[in-house]
Amino acid sequence: MLSLLRVKVKNIFAFNGGSGFLMQLLYKGFYNNMTQAQLTTLIRKYLSGEANEQEKLQIEQWYESFDTSSLEFVGGDSQMTEESLNKSLKALRAKIAQEHSAGGMPSLGSSKRIFRWWQAAAAATVLVVAAGVILSLWNQQRKKTGADMAVQTLTKDFQPGGNNAVLTLANGRQIVLDSAGNGLISTQGNARIIKVTGGLLTYNRQSSNVNGESSVQYNTITTPRGGRYEVILPDGSKVWLNAASSLRFPTIFIGDKREVEMTGEAYFEIARNASMPFVVKKGSIEVTVLGTDFNVNAYDDESNLKVTLVEGLVRVSQVSTDNRQSTTRNSQLLKPGQQLILSLSKDGGAEMNLQKDADVNEAVAWKNNLFWFDSDNIQEVCKQLSRWYNVNISIHGNVHDLFTGSIPRDLPFSKVFEVLQKTGSIQYKIEDVNTIIVTPGNQIINNK
């Protein structure tokens, strides 16, 4: 059973329930504009004894400043929730007391009980380890009128996506990978194409003797909405494709660089080869690496292209081609933990905005089977859901709320929207066999 923690003053809503998941509740701007990642890091350092005096003081001041009197439980089994969380929270409380007894920090007020402190913590941080699916909502414009909407029960549900993809060979032949048997499915040039259980395709080189480019053929793997797939390229590089994405690549890499083309979203783990850089192309944008891990979000229906670096070093360039001559118009070097946001203009230009302290977890959440929202509006939320569940979502009316939180992607559509709808900010109905209508939570809709 879901239980709702309502923070009346802050207008943040969180849900927890059921056992078996790591409870994640994302912090948003509660202390000196710290990010969720920064606060989480501080708490972990504090518990492990690695925090310096300044960091200890930050945690103490954050603890004291949060207004726990603004919290209340609505629904669910709050006693069960308290019991499941007290063990973890006592550890932090004991650590704080230990610091105080050592004279390292100013005294805490004695009026704060552990469970009331948990209510504050649960509204602000990923500290809590307990149960269930979670979502927090930063609701900037919610009116204090009306009761929470009841959860609609779907007569038809939409299942999450899976390992679905189509492989297009050099001769145009298409292989539906989710229905193909495991093992050797084709031979292309000097590569044997093998399907492995669990949504994995591998390209194994048959011979090390390659005389020229005549043996090179190009394949394309495409995931539909509601699909994802992993492919190991001939050089050993690994690529994960998100829903509604594609990757075009040669069956063997020769020459002075390894080039692939992509659409949609993909995560890359590139095999190192200093003499043969790896290049990912999307239109006029090129990402050049030697050996590294990074994510590229390049959906055509998004206004920005995003490159997020996890490890290594990459250079992102905008290249123009005239009379078969390529010219670099603009470029930016990325270091680990950075994200480059490119705003593409109609005239072919690209404005580059470097985020030096990016939330890498958010960028790669899809690869880790999570939806991850960070102050996202309902349009951005529905884009992710639409791609993964292969359902059309139409938004009627103005939903001003921003959503922050994470939800496992292996849940049925109804469970995800049950959490979203519990906030009271939105509601939905099934319009037809493949269309969902989303409206503001205070708007009356007639379900078919």
Q: pLDDT digits over 17-65, tens only?
A: 332 222 333 333 344 456 555 666 777 777 777 788 877 877 767 666 6
- Helix axis angle for 36-48 and 53-65, nearest 10°, is 120
* Relative orientation angle of helices 413-422 and 378-389, to the nearest 10 degrees: 170
Q: Which residues contact 296 (CB under 8 A, 6 or more apart)?
A: 262, 265, 266, 267, 268, 280, 282, 287, 305, 306, 307
Least confident piece of the model among 72-86, 95-109, 375-389: 72-86
CB atoms within 10 A of CB 224: 16
**Chain centroid offset of residue 243 CA:** 13
CATH of domain 166-362: 2.60.120.1440
How do beta strands 278-282 and 258-269 pair? parallel
* Phi, psi of 301, deg, nearest 5: -90, 10
Collapsing DSSP to helix, strand or coil, 182 comes out as coil
Tracing tokens 């829903």 back to the chain, one arrives at 243
In this prediction, residue 345 carries a pLDDT of: 79
106 φ/ψ angles, rounded to the nearest 5 degrees? -65, 160
pLDDT, tens only, 353-385: 999 999 999 999 999 999 998 888 999 999 999
Looking at the domain that runs over 151-158+373-448, which CATH code has it been given? 3.55.50.30
User: How far apart, in Å, are the Cα atoms of 365 and each of 19, 359, 410?
Assistant: 21, 10, 13
Q: Where in the chain is the domain with CATH 2.60.120.1440?
A: 166-362
Q: Has residue 4 got a pLDDT over 90?
A: no
Helix segments in 396-435, DSSP class H:
413-422
The mean predicted confidence, pLDDT, of the chain is 74
pLDDT(302) > 60: yes
Predicted local distance difference test score (pLDDT) of residue 308: 98
Q: What distance lies between CA 319 and its chain's CA centroid?
A: 28
Q: Where does the pLDDT of residue 421 fall: very low under 50, low under 70, confident under 90, or very high at 90 and above?
A: confident
Q: Which part of the chain is CATH 3.55.50.30?
A: 151-158+373-448
- In angstroms, the Cα distances linking 301 to 155, 244, 245, 247, 304 are 30, 11, 12, 17, 9
Distance CA 283, CA 156 (A): 39
- The answer to whether the beta carbons of residues 71 and 119 sit under 8 Å apart is yes
User: Which pLDDT band holds residue 402 (cuts at 50, 70, 90)?
Assistant: confident
318-359: pLDDT as tens digits: 987 665 656 667 899 999 999 999 998 776 678 999 999 999
Residue with the larger pLDDT of the pair 213 and 60: 60
Q: How confident is the model over 72-86, as a mean pLDDT?
A: 41
